[in-house]
Structure 1
Amino acid sequence: MTCLFVQIRCRPGTAYEVAAQIVLREIHSELYSTSGDFDLMLKLYVPNGEDIGVFINNNLLNIDAIERTYTMQTFKAF
C-alpha cells in the first residue's frame, strides 16, 4: 500500500461538511483540521497497483466544496 498525505483547501465555511463527506467514504486512515493555507490534512493508503491520480479523482476530488488539494506521496518509513 502507498501512504499519501493530502492537504485540502475548502470553500470558506465548508470544512466540517467536507470532513463529514470524507468520513462517510471510509477512505482515510486519519483526518485532521489544520491551520495555515489548507483546512484539512488527510492520511490515506492507496492499494498497490492502483493509479494514485485516479484514486484521488474518484474518491476525493468529486466533493464539491474542495477548492484545492496538495498530495504528498511517501516512500519509506524510518
Structure 2
Amino acid sequence: MVTAIIMLSVEKKHINQVAEKLASIKGLSEVYSVSGPYDIAAIARVQNNDEISELVTQHLAQIDYILKTETMLAFKAYSKDDLEGMFSVGA
C-alpha cells in the first residue's frame, strides 16, 4: 500500500465545496481543513504509485478552485494504531 499526503491551496470561498468533492474520491481516505500555508490536507491510500499519479493528475486536476497541490509520499508509519490493519478490513 502507498500512502501520500496531498496538501492543497484552494480559493478561500470554495474550501468546503472542494473538501466535499475530495472526500467522495476513491483512494482519499481522509480530508481535513487545515491552518497554515495550505487550506486542505488529504490522505491518499492506494495500491501503487500509478494510482497516486492518476489520483493527482486526473481526478484532482478536474476539480475547480484548486490553485496548487503538493504531494508527499509516506515512507513509514510511526503510530500506535495498526493503520494497515484498519484500512484492510473488508478488502
TM-score normalized by the length of structure 2 = 0.74
C-alpha distance in 2 between matches for 1:39 and 1:74 = 20
What RMSD over aligned residues (CA atoms) do the two structures have, in Å?
1.6
User: Larger relative contact order (C-alpha < 8 A, sep ≥ 6)?
Assistant: 1
Matched position secondary structure for 1:60: helix
Q: Deviations over 1:4-63 (max 9, x none)?
A: 000111012110010111122233111111011110010011222525333311121210
Return 5+ residue gaps in structure 1 as ranges.
none
| Identity of matched residues, % | 29
Once residues 49 and 68 of structure 1 are traced to their aligned partners in structure 2, the CA distance between those partners, rounded to angstroms, is 20
Task: Tell me whether 57-66 or 23-32 shows the greater mean CA deviation.
Answer: 23-32
Contact 2:6–2:69 under 8 Å retained in 1: yes
Greater mean alpha carbon deviation, residues 41-50 or residues 28-37: 41-50
The residue that corresponds to 2:87 in the other structure is none
Spell out the pairing of 1:1-78 with structure 2 (5 A cutoff): 1-48=1-48, 50=50, 52-78=52-78
CA contact 1:27–1:59 (8 Å) conserved in 2: no
Kindly indicate whether the alpha-carbon contact (under 8 Å) linking 2:28 and 2:43 is maintained by their aligned counterparts in 1.
yes
Count residues in correspondence.
Answer: 78
Q: Where do 5+ consecutive residues of structure 2 fail to align?
A: 79-91
Question: Partners of 1:32 and 1:49 in 2: how far apart?
Answer: 22
Return the TM-score normalized by structure 1: 0.85
Q: Which has the higher helix share?
A: 2
